Amino acid sequence: MDKLAVSVSAFDCDVLRSAFKNSVYEDNIPEDQWREYAAQMIRDLTGIGMVDLDLVEWIVRRSQNARVGAFSADEAASSR
């Protein structure tokens, strides 16, 4: 697959993941909606409809100590 026309910096990725984790925790977004929510965040940032699925997976990935099904309050707080 070809590279996307817009590159997303490491800083942008960290900001996206932090915002995603906070949204999941604060808005109680169900896990089955996480990937589409993250993809939409990337679309909003880049203005392009196609997203890098590896980036989506990295954004939604939970840490080893996360409870099943959601980010913990500690994880959300640590991303602020």
State residue 71's pLDDT score.
58
Mean pLDDT of the chain: 82
Is pLDDT at 52 greater than 80 in this prediction?
yes
Domain ranges for the chain: 10-64
**Is pTM beyond 0.75 here?**
no
Q: Nearest 5°: phi and psi at 39?
A: -60, -40
Is pLDDT at 1 greater than 60 in this prediction?
no
Query: Which pair of tokens denotes residue 43?
Result: 């679309």
CB atoms within 10 A of CB 76: 18
